[in-house]
Structure 1
Amino acid sequence: MRSSIVAAAPAAEDSITKAAPLTKLDLVDYLASGCKPKSRWRIGTEHEKFGFNKSTLKPLDYPQISQLFEALCERFNWQKEMEGDKVTGLKKDGQSISLEPGGQLELSGAPLETLHATCAELNSHLYEVKAVSEEMGVGFFGMGFHPKWPVEVFDMMPKGRFQIMRNYLPKVGKFGLDTMFRTCTVQVNLDFSSEEDMVKKFRVSLALQPVVTAIFANSPFTEGAPNGYLSYRSLTYTDMDGDRTGDLPFVFEDGFSFERYVDYALEVPMVFVYRDGKHVDCTGRSFKDFLLGRLPELPGELPTLSDWENHINTIYPEVRLKKYLEMRGADEGPWKRLCALPALWVGLLYDEEALESAYQLIKDWSRAERAMLRREAPKLGLKTRFRNGTLKDVAQEVLKLAKEGLERRGYNEVKFLEGVAEIVETGVTPAERLLELYNGKWDKCVDPMFHVLEY
């Protein structure tokens, strides 16, 4: 599970080559294998954060990240993940800590049954990171887009696929390097029981993603000044790579299915193939050709399911389908909102009554309306005009449904929505609060927010 612009850590190469070439049906079955009964549904929460030197506010370089990883291993029993002779991630108890291109640190949590367990996991992680980072004179803070430094200041982390993406993305979009180096998000990954259940959840979550973008909007600054948006992070995904981002109108068409998503994914150009511990640059190539053994970089070689997994990890729509659904529309923020994001989606999607009510809410939204919301919500937040009201009105209904859904779950989880209740009630986003401080007591300086938003 990953939420960033770059792919998740590459799937391990299959130890045994398939006797027969992969077919499209194999790729469909891979997605369908995620179906599981409600008793086995889990919550997987992920969040990224920016590191900074407390004396200069500059981003961390790789030697500092490496030192941090070594300390986490020594003191808290994490296990290293290596790329060559470089430590690039850690694993423990179903969790992983990974590096994003500009040194952002990401926790991918274990699949857990309740929001209580999810937030306890998050608390433990932040405690460990803070215990080590304070001794190093560094800190971590949460925003959707870095408020101060240009791309050139960030030290690129030593992963092979990062260099491939760094070379490729500027050829296909305006904001590719921004998404790599200067964005952070929080996301939740949730299960489905059947293809029908997946379709309904996909439609609801994709339609409502702009609402969540508005509620969690927390990136109004670029290189020390207001950028004209409330969620600049969300804006960057509108012109990063049109082949692998977007709001996926086909999800709302009759006949949407696992197979239809596979058809879409097969049309997305490839980025890399992982072989013998190295990333092979395959940018722009067709996975369809790979299925036929016609990949120029690996002539005659056929893909494995691990290659398919790596490929779909390089697709970045607002909601992404793998063996679960990833909700990808929220800016990173402070602790209370990190727990509120999974609470909102669990309340909506894991209760049948809430899910059906949410579906009835969005089912007649037109393609033009959904596109408008995706375009305007990053700029106007909850003040975005929609039909006879604003996005605030929709957010209030969504929050009500989520609260009722959590109450019916019976785990006493409603309290985790408190992190966004005031935002939805007032219609004032976190970004607008930061702009008030910037224009007031901070005297048009972004530096104080490093410490205000520090974990």
Structure 2
Amino acid sequence: MPGAKPSPQIESRADLIEAMARGAKPKDTWRVGTEHEKFVFYRKDNSPVPYEGSNGIRALLEGVMDRTGSSPIHDGDALIGLEQPNGGGSISLEPGGQFELSGAPLRTLHETCVETNQHLKLMRAIAEPLGIGFLGLGAIPTWSVADIPKMPKSRYAIMGPYMEKVGTLGTSMMFRSCTVQANLDFSDEADMVKKLRVSLALQPVATALFANSPFIDGKPSPYLSFRSQIWLDTDPDRTGMIPFAFEDGMGFERYADYALDVPMYFVVREGRYINCAGESFRAFLGGQLPQLPGEKPTIKDWEDHLSTLFPEVRLKQYLEMRGADAGPWQELCALPALWTGLLYDSAALDAAWEMVKDWTAEERDALRRAVPRSAIHTPFRNETVADIGARMLELARGGLARRANLNWEGEDETIFLAPIAETLRTGKTAAEDLVDLYKGEWQGDISRVFERAAF
């Protein structure tokens, strides 16, 4: 960005740690950030929307910019995102044109839901004259990777070829998946560690509760969350349940060591992405990066590198809950509600830790690998994931009730947990409802999912 202050060079390990530790905040300033992605398709034939054209992705972005006064984000000459005014979050593009709202950090879930509703109403108003619709699913049900137009973002041109070397489903993650994510604060290192451990252990349960991607390549897959299965074969160096988080001595420094061992993707210089895929950030610290010989990294380089790690819970200056499929409009606020209730109330957090603290690394990993296929029906010890989910729900409900944030009708934040309660009441995930419709009322017509799951 012209005129931007240069990022300082990394001088010591303390700088690596500080890049995360400075996120610590007093409890009264904790906020909730919610991100959600959605597929963009032409309503006339359910086909993917290209970047260019009078009714393409760029036109959609320009429509939002004209209506909101948002500031453009460019990659070279390409418009690739928008910064919304007054700190109102941002809109960005995923590799296959998925639209992502990165919401503002907000005090209450009521504010989060207002933000989500306003965004989706705006997007629908702009998209409808263009013949465009939005789909709320964890994986696109019909398109192949080859079918999907690529967005003009330099980082994705680097990531795609590298992912094809380290896993078989990395490009499906990039082009064929969508998620909803909650970003939450911590007060200090000890609080971060406790929240990280609880949310890592329970992330597969959230995956199960929000399973909403049963189709791929035009038919049912063996998985209720194919999006979650994708992450099991994307890149083992930068994904997974990071078992070291449960070891003695876990803290910011230990996470920094993990990040240093994850191969790089790129370095940005003067707005240009330099391909460093597979290189070592440790070598970069020593001035030995082949692409920039003799040059040492800045804090911004380190922050960029941290953003290319994809564990089930990611640590930056906050914690990112990354386990859930994207879902329908009315369910987008349920995911942040679940994690806010669990992690922002000390009694709920303590009880959640008691629930998971004796789970072994092997059990956590086995759970993570099983839930994409069987979701809430996955057995665990002497019960099922649905049983664990029910306890999570009650803890979250208690945590939200104690926050006592009321809307204008006098309702507290527990109202946003209703979709999870319904899943547990019926014993069926959203994915199973879709499969039943496909086999029954739809008579195998997969195109009907574009009506059912559209925003």
Matching residue of 1:422: 422
Q: Whole-Å Cα distance in 2 between the matches of residues 111 and 17 of structure 1?
A: 24
Identity percentage of aligned residues: 53
Matching residue of 1:48: 37
Unaligned runs of at least 5 residues, structure 2: 406-411
Matching residue of 2:21: 32
Shift, 1:16, TM fit: 3.4
Q: Deviations 1:213-264 (Å, cap 9, x if unpaired)?
A: 0000000101111110000000010110111001111011111111000000
Matching residue of 2:118: 124
Matching residue of 2:6: 16
TM superposition score normalised by structure 1: 0.96
Work out which of the residue numbers 38, 47, 53 in structure 2 matches 1:58.
47
Shift >6 Å, 4+ stretches: 11-14
| Partner SS, residue 35 of structure 2 | strand
Shift, 1:426, TM fit: 2.6
Written as runs of structure 1 = structure 2, the 5 A alignment for 1:374-413 is 374-411=368-405, 412-413=412-413
Written as runs of structure 1 = structure 2, the 5 A alignment for 1:125-204 is 125-204=119-198
Shift, 1:12, TM fit: 9.6
| Partner SS, residue 62 of structure 1 | coil
Shift, 1:177, TM fit: 0.6
CA contact (8 A) 2:10 2:16 kept: no
CA change 1:447–1:421 in 2 (3 A) is same
CA contact (8 A) 1:343 1:414 kept: yes
| Partner SS, residue 239 of structure 1 | coil
Letter in 2 for 1:252: F
| Partner SS, residue 229 of structure 1 | coil
Shift, 1:15, TM fit: 3.0
Matching residue of 1:4: none
Q: Whole-Å Cα distance in 2 between the matches of residues 257 and 366 of structure 1?
A: 19
TM superposition score normalised by structure 2: 0.96
Aligned residues between the structures: 444
CA change 1:13–1:164 in 2 (3 A) is farther
Q: Whole-Å Cα distance in 1 between the matches of residues 378 and 139 of structure 2?
A: 21
Q: Deviations 1:141-198 (Å, cap 9, x if unpaired)?
A: 1100110111111000001111111111100001011000000000000000011100
Matching residue of 2:329: 335
Unaligned runs of at least 5 residues, structure 1: 1-10
CA change 1:301–1:15 in 2 (3 A) is farther
CA change 1:21–1:47 in 2 (3 A) is closer
Matching residue of 2:438: 438
Q: Whole-Å Cα distance in 1 between the matches of residues 383 and 300 of structure 2?
A: 47
Work out which of the residue numbers 226, 234, 243 in structure 2 matches 1:232.
226
Matching residue of 1:80: 72
Q: Whole-Å Cα distance in 2 between the matches of residues 356 and 114 of structure 1?
A: 22
- Mean Cα deviation higher: 83-92 or 176-185: 83-92
Shift, 1:400, TM fit: 0.3
The answer on 1:243 being equivalent to 2:233 is no
CA contact (8 A) 2:212 2:326 kept: yes
